Amino acid sequence: MRKLNKSRLIEILAENNFFVENSHIFKPDSSEYTFLYNKLISRGIVIKEYNVEIDFKNVNEEAALVKEILKKMKYNIWNMYYFVLINTDNQIKKNYIIERDYRNMRKYLVQSVEDLKRIPFLEKTTGLEEEINLSIDYCDLIESSQDQEINKIIRDIVCLEGEYVELSKQKIRNILKDNLSRGELL
């Protein structure tokens, strides 16, 4: 598990078009909360970093305060999320309880980069995906079959442009009927 710090989380969110905005509205000391907003999808994220064991009750109270501030700023509360950034090596056992309680805001406990996979509106979670490059020519792969009957069926399907258009079941049955040595219908 790769631990995640606040600056790295903000970088990843910036890659998803979330940018820091109006963080000063939460407290005079704006370092406690960071507000990011994505104008393209009209969603916002408030991040608060916790360095000690978190208390479920405190998280809900703080989320309620944040919700009220966002309401006053005329943001759509249903598109706002509260990220609880855990900066400790201990696995948090209460994440299910905290994340499932939607009373004030939708909340996510984030401790590592891998936790970002659970957030549906984040497309890029840098460092998680390995690019899978499948450049296989499926026709060549299929046509390399040793079975002559199968190769003939494939050629007939290609002649009918079956690579590009959907063939009817009847056309496929006719091809199979004409080419299978036993002549069995499927």
Highest-pLDDT range among 40-44, 126-130, 154-158, 168-172 = 40-44
Q: Which two tokens stand for residue 174?
A: 């006719």
Q: Which residues contact 135 (CB under 8 A, 6 or more apart)?
A: none
Average pLDDT over residues 160-172: 78
CATH architecture of the domain covering 6-118: 3-Layer(aba) Sandwich (3.40)
pLDDT at site 51? 74
pLDDT in tens, 7-38: 889 899 999 999 888 777 776 555 588 899 99
Sort strands 80-86 and 106-110 into parallel, antiparallel or unpaired.
parallel
pLDDT tens column, 37-65: 999 999 999 999 887 666 667 888 888 98
**What are the domain boundaries of the chain?**
6-118, 138-179
Strands 33-38, 106-110: pairing is unpaired
> Tell me, what's the pLDDT at 186?
46
pTM of the model: 0.62
Q: Which of 42-46, 132-136, 178-182 has the highest mean pLDDT?
A: 42-46
Contact criterion met (CB below 8 Å) for 33 and 27:
yes
